[in-house]
Amino acid sequence: MAVLADEIYEAANTLGLKVDIGFSLSFDGTKLRAVARLPELGSGNGMLVFTSDDHLSPEVRERLRRADYGYSVIGALQVEQQFDLDSWREVFIDWGWNSKFGPKPKWMTEPSLDDLEKAMQDATDHYVRTEIGSQIALLHWEDERAQEVLFGYIKAGVLDADPLADLWIRRGKIDRSVYDELASDDLRQLLAPWFRELKH
């Protein structure tokens, strides 16, 4: 737990985020101790980080949701693991920015959608294009144009449906657990109504 707390603190501090290490809260006598709370990320009262879901019963999860906390479970890190700021940056972006703290910091929105579009046009390798598509979904999922851009690449055969599905998961249109169990054909069938919607 100490290693995870140290990594979260270092990543948050480097990226200019507020962080409360060892954050505790109580619900009707049930005390929860999180490794950390990042108030500027996740839901209205921030993102809580736990090393285990042992104490996160369905009732506790619902209470956290009603109290406007996001939460994530990250297994304890090994001491010998090397600190990777880019990985933490992606995790923080995935958790989402709490807009009550003002506009997102630049590191959450760069590269820009325009820059990523240009990189996509220049890319010749399928793996590189898929990585760029995933970046568009991760960094710009709140931008309506990002959905149209990804759909255009899929329609043109430049990308498969995964980055667009990632964007729709972030928008809450597809549940992640359902998506993870889908075969490619089933995924296309599920996404077909949105494809039709975007064509008009």
Structural domain for 140, as ranges: 109-199
User: What whole-number distance in Å separates Cα of residue 154 and Cα of residue 187?
Assistant: 13
Could you give the number of structural domains in the chain?
A: 2
Question: Do residue 87 and residue 124 come from a single domain?
Answer: no
Domain assignment present for residue 70? The answer is: yes
Domain end residue (candidates: 58, 74, 98): 98
Mean pLDDT by runs of 10 across the 200 residues of the chain is: 87 96 86 94 94 87 91 73 85 90 91 95 92 91 85 83 77 63 62 57
**179 contacts 200 by C-beta, under 8 angstroms:** no
Tell me, what's the pLDDT at 26? 87
Quote the tokens at residue 130. 């898929």
Does 137 fall in a domain?
A: yes
Q: Could you report how far apart the first and last alpha carbons of the chain are, in Å?
A: 51
Q: What is the predicted pLDDT for the residue at 107?
A: 94
Asked if 113 and 194 sit in the same domain, the reply is yes
Structure tokens at 79: 């001491």
* Domain termination site, one of 50, 71, 98: 98
Of 169, 172, 170, 164, whose CA–CA distance to 188 is shortest?
A: 164
Give the chain's largest Cα–Cα span. 58
Could you tell me the pTM of the whole model?
0.75
